A and B are shown apart, each in its own frame.
Chain A
Amino acid sequence: MTTAKDLLRHEMMPHILCPGCGHGIVMNAMLRVLARRHQNLDKVALVAGIGCSSRIVGYVDANTLHTTHGRALTFATGLKLARPELEVIVVTGDGDGLGIGGNHLIHAARRNVDLTCILFNNETYGMTGGQLAPTTVKQAFTTTSPGGNTEPNFDAAVLAKAAGASFVARGQAYRPDVLEEVMERALDHRGFSFVEVMTDCTEYFGRKNALGLGSDLLFTQSRSDQEVSRDLADWPSLRTPQGWQVRETQPLGVLHEDRRPTFEESRGLPGYSEREV
């Protein structure tokens, strides 16, 4: 049986992620899902943009494409239409996918190309040093909002649904078990699937907002099993020690699903039906 470990490029280790970062948990969840679906990743392509989350595609022994900032979805669109039989997964972050790449996200959702987009949302630009992101909530401190953020933030899942994504879900790094279910459903779905995963940037966002060290920030995502069993419950809100809210409550789980013709089906592209479901 294939395991998550079998799907890693061990020669690429050690990875670049910081201690306490949630990204590795999300990557592991993704690998476990892929290990259940495939013996090897010959027919899987991982396409990523620029940022901490985007770096993880290089660690996976698949057809991996690390592209430009914000534009992974455009490369993935071309690749998928050239090779409709591939399972194409886009890995992006909140700055990458919603800031510089926001336009590509809404158009990929609208086209309903059969891609699965996993957006790691840590509410900041981690790789460049913790700057203000389009997902940073009001009042939160970042290295470019020293007086607290004054701009409203995007709700990525609502945005993706409004743009036409035919599958929209939100998961969290704290519950990889639930995340795996969500990812599996996203990959099964035919059409543009969007999964927003709430993770945390402990080194920058956590530090700037005095939210603890190491995995302290991750534990703030905690919810009771009772809550989780009830409709997956919500992503919990979070306040700084000074009482300022730095995270808004958001619903988790599968938020939207409909079946409408994919781009490939509308064009009658040969080979598309070969993708394993």
Chain B
Amino acid sequence: MSKRELISGNEACALGALASGLRFFGGYPISPSSEISEILSSRLPRAGGVFVQMEDEMASLGSVIGASLGGLRAMTATSGPGFTLMQEHLGYASLAEIPCLVVDVMRVGPSTGVPTAPSQGDVMQARWGSHGDRGTVALSPASVEEVYNLTVHAFNIADRLRTPVVLMFDEVIGHMREGVELSPPAPEDLWGRPRPAGAPGPDFRAYAPNEQGVAQLPAFGDGYRFHVTGLFHDERGYPTTNPDLVRQALERLERKLDPIPAWLPPEKYHMTDADFVYVAYGAVSRVAREAVDRLREKGVAAGLYRPRVLWPVDEAALRKDLAKARTVVVAEMNRGQWVQVVSQALPPAIRVVSYGKTGGEPVTTDEMYGLAADLNLRSVKSS
């Protein structure tokens, strides 16, 4: 069935989306994500879906949310400047609880920055980019094959939890080609949306949550005739300013995302006995892995902890996974974003070091290895 092929991360993303049952794509051109649009513009209509090039990124995500309410799996793809413009509708999709996928292929920012050199500078924007408190979901693949698989997972999470999901990877992962043997998901591996149990009628409550904190979602046109709004709303979807209802909604919108880290656990490479740990994601995790191999050859108990879910964070699990470490280096292509998560989670006894590389150059294995040697030397001196 499956065959070995040489494809890029962006291609894998488009193929993963098609395999997930994507039926609507609304997008706006931006490097380094445009290949996703280009591929889907030809392949999606052949799969029975609709591709539209919209007038800007707000429109792109707006059309995606509209199509999703029509019952379709829908997505868009962009890069930093477009991701910034999409924050408005990411906030909307969170509060209105409309499933959708936003792919962010990261380049150097702020602003137009360095088109289109790699970066991981959008990690905090994915968490806090829109106004107001909200839970967010961001997945981070580190290989072409993983882009494919996490695209499938992203749609599943979006549908099951009625939430926007961001799939974010740096330009290196987007444009890198790897030989892969893709395994399309079986029908039972594709999760659906929570569907209403009862028939349409005046008792239907579009925003009444189930025990997982997720409400049922019929499509527009199915006969349920419900109201969707970006205002805080009651269980019927009608606007409310009741402070208790607002607080309950905020709490529920974060809580319903809790299962995600357990669904997609981090990769732990040589972590069993590691006291020197790299924490890295995306392209940086690939060189960190090589540095671990070299350090192991030298007898250093090094390991790699690679989160696949950047948001939400299970702090307790993170603390447990890194409990044996003495030094943790969080290496990123930014000036230190996810390191803030790690620092906050770990006790002061564990030394957390941020290694942030900017300027659009990827981190190299030599750099990672050299950094470890430096740090070890210093830790030996200080003890």
Contacts and interface: CB of A to CB of B under 8 A. Distances in A.
B229 A103 contact: no
A64 B227 contact: yes
A250 to B, nearest CB: 27
Contacts of A63: 220-221, 224-226
Contact of A79 (B23, B70, B92): B70
Nearest to A79: B66
Contacts of A21: none
Interface residues of A, number: 37
A65 interface: yes
Interface stretch (B55-63, B137-145, B242-250, B310-318): B55-63
B50 A42 contact: no
Contacts of B92: 67-68
B229 A82 contact: no
Interface in B22-78: 23-24, 26, 45, 50, 52, 54-56, 58-60, 62-72, 74
Taking each of A40, A43, A45, A71, which has the highest tally of chain B beta carbons within 10 Å of its own beta carbon?
A71
Contact of A82 (B50, B54, B60, B88): B50
B227 A66 contact: yes
Contact of B65 (A66, A75, A103, A269): A75
A19 interface: no
- The SS class assigned to the B binding surface is mixed
Interface in A20-60: 40-43, 45, 47, 57-58
B229 A58 contact: yes
B228 interface: yes
Contacts of A65: 66, 69, 220, 227-229
Interface in A69-128: 71, 74-83, 85-86, 103-104, 107
A81 B24 contact: yes
A57 B231 CA distance: 13
Nearest to B26: A78
B230 interface: yes
B228 A64 contact: yes
B201 to A, nearest CB: 12
Taking each of A11, A40, A66, A74, which has the highest tally of chain B beta carbons within 10 Å of its own beta carbon?
A74
Q: Contact residue range for chain B? A: 35 or more
Interface string A226-268: 0000000000000000000000000000000000000000010
Given A103-B55, A107-B59, A77 B225 contact: no
Contacts of A178: none
B223 interface: yes
Contacts of A75: 62-63, 65-66, 69
Taking each of B66, B224, B225, which has the highest tally of chain A beta carbons within 10 Å of its own beta carbon?
B66
B239 interface: yes
B238 A83 contact: no
Contacts of A62: 225
B220 A78 contact: no
B339 to A, nearest CB: 33
A277 interface: no
Contact of B67 (A41, A47, A82, A107): A82
Given A45-B220, A58-B238, A83-B221, A78 B62 contact: yes
Contacts of B89: 68, 71
Given A42-B225, A77-B52, A82-B50, A68 B67 contact: no
A64 B225 CA distance: 7
A66 B237 CA distance: 10
B88 A76 contact: no
B219 interface: yes
A103 B92 CA distance: 20
21 contacts: A9-B227, A42-B225, A57-B227, A63-B224, A63-B225, A64-B225, A66-B229, A68-B58, A74-B26, A75-B62, A77-B26, A77-B52, A78-B24, A78-B68, A78-B74, A82-B23, A82-B50, A82-B68, A83-B70, A104-B62, A107-B59
Given A74-B63, A81-B24, 14 more contacts: A43-B221, A58-B229, A64-B227, A66-B227, A71-B59, A71-B88, A78-B26, A78-B67, A78-B74, A79-B220, A82-B68, A83-B71, A83-B221, A86-B70
